[in-house]
A and B are shown apart, each in its own frame.
Chain A
């Protein structure tokens, strides 16, 4: 999908107009952020916005998130294990130490 973010009042107004006029090409709209469908028409609308408002419009392309494919196994396991812990008040760090799971610092240093 195309993630479109407006950074000026003018750009936000144009984004709203497009979302209203082309409902079927807009997958979701949150305030001044919208997800356009990944079609030529979605790109056309996004590019029109950028043409009109320049840098006040950011366009990014999203990919489906396949955790099993992109996330290292130990991090996947850590998320599952921590949310299933039996001590709700236990912070992650001691939990990770006890269970030999990756530390926040290690995970921060891991690129997907």
Chain B
């Protein structure tokens, strides 16, 4: 036995699987409270305690007469709530697991590049300085002038040059290693991308398979919802208006089904305990809706 849904709006508490909220409240705020997607401070003071929503919930959380619906995607997700399986599930699980493990980390190469450039420039400068000093020493010798100071200076410059060259060499090696690591990283990313493609491809196939398997069951629920609306059996009559005569309905492409009708049919078809939010005029009462849809509902 699952816990009864509890919802509090501005201090007023509602419980049960057929909740009527008569005070003004934004249905989206209720949905956000249920899905936990509300990252703002809950100024509306809506708080809920309901069973966790399944993936299909996002598509049919709030049913109203101007809603949009990606019927095939939602149907595939709804099928999962009634135990729908496909031949692709195993490969999909494996591919997804591999993908989660695969988080390549980028190596940093800029530091080594910068060091190499600095040290190379420094070495060039010292080389020039050494050449100048050697010239100076030669000139002084020619004129029999003392060369000690210049020679001491040259020794210092050559020592610094040797140091700069060693650092440049080390930086070059590090840079090469970093560049190789970067190439390795790109290879891993490439691998990851291919895996992402594979997952997406398997998801498409699984979705198509679920849609194909469960379309007959879904259509039966669609027919039932339209029939109920037509004979005013708890669903607003306008919902069925504009839908095709029964004979043509089985030929209607899924995507051409009225989104509101489809959403109601999906709730009736799917199996989950999270309450869906219905706009007031759509159904006669929360109780009637809960019974028709065999689901927990919140009517606002």
Q: Which residues of A contact B (CB under 8 A)?
A: 7-9, 32, 55-56, 58
Evaluate contact between B200 and A7: CB separation under 8 angstroms: no
Q: B189-201 vs A: 1/0 string, CB under 8 Å?
A: 1101100110010
Chain B residues with Cβ under 8 A from A55's Cβ?
A: 104, 106, 185, 189
9 nearest CB pairs, A to B? A7-B189, A55-B106, A7-B193, A9-B196, A8-B193, A58-B186, A8-B196, A9-B200, A7-B190
Which chain B residue shows the least CB distance to A5? B186
Q: 11 A-B residue contacts at CB 8 Å? A: A7-B189, A7-B192, A8-B189, A8-B196, A9-B196, A9-B200, A55-B104, A55-B185, A55-B189, A56-B189, A58-B186
Q: Is the interface of B mostly helix, strand, loop or mixed?
A: helix
Bound-state Cα–Cα, A52 to B53, Å: 30
Closest CB in chain A relative to B105 CB, distance in Å: 9
Bound-state Cα–Cα, A23 to B288, Å: 56
Q: Which residues of B contact A (CB under 8 A)?
A: 104, 106, 185-186, 189-190, 192-193, 196-197, 200
7 more contacts with CB within 8 A, not counting A7-B189, A8-B192, A8-B196, are: A7-B192, A8-B189, A9-B197, A55-B104, A55-B185, A55-B189, A56-B189
Closest CB in chain B relative to A108 CB, distance in Å: 15
Evaluate contact between A7 and B197: CB separation under 8 angstroms: no
Closest CB in chain B relative to A12 CB, distance in Å: 8
Closest CB in chain B relative to A60 CB, distance in Å: 10
Chain B residues with Cβ under 8 A from A7's Cβ?
A: 186, 189-190, 192-193
Which chain B residue shows the least CB distance to A54? B106
Bound-state Cα–Cα, A107 to B192, Å: 32
Closest CB in chain B relative to A40 CB, distance in Å: 21
Which chain A residue shows the least CB distance to B185? A55
Closest CB in chain A relative to B183 CB, distance in Å: 11
Which chain B residue shows the least CB distance to A7? B189
Chain B residues with Cβ under 8 A from A58's Cβ?
A: 186
Closest CB in chain A relative to B200 CB, distance in Å: 7
Bound-state Cα–Cα, A56 to B192, Å: 10
Chain A residues with Cβ under 8 A from B189's Cβ?
A: 7-8, 55-56
Bound-state Cα–Cα, A58 to B179, Å: 13
Which chain B residue shows the least CB distance to A11? B193
Bound-state Cα–Cα, A8 to B189, Å: 8
Which chain B residue shows the least CB distance to A56? B189
Chain A residues with Cβ under 8 A from B192's Cβ?
A: 7-8
Closest CB in chain A relative to B195 CB, distance in Å: 11
Closest CB in chain A relative to B179 CB, distance in Å: 12
Bound-state Cα–Cα, A69 to B186, Å: 29
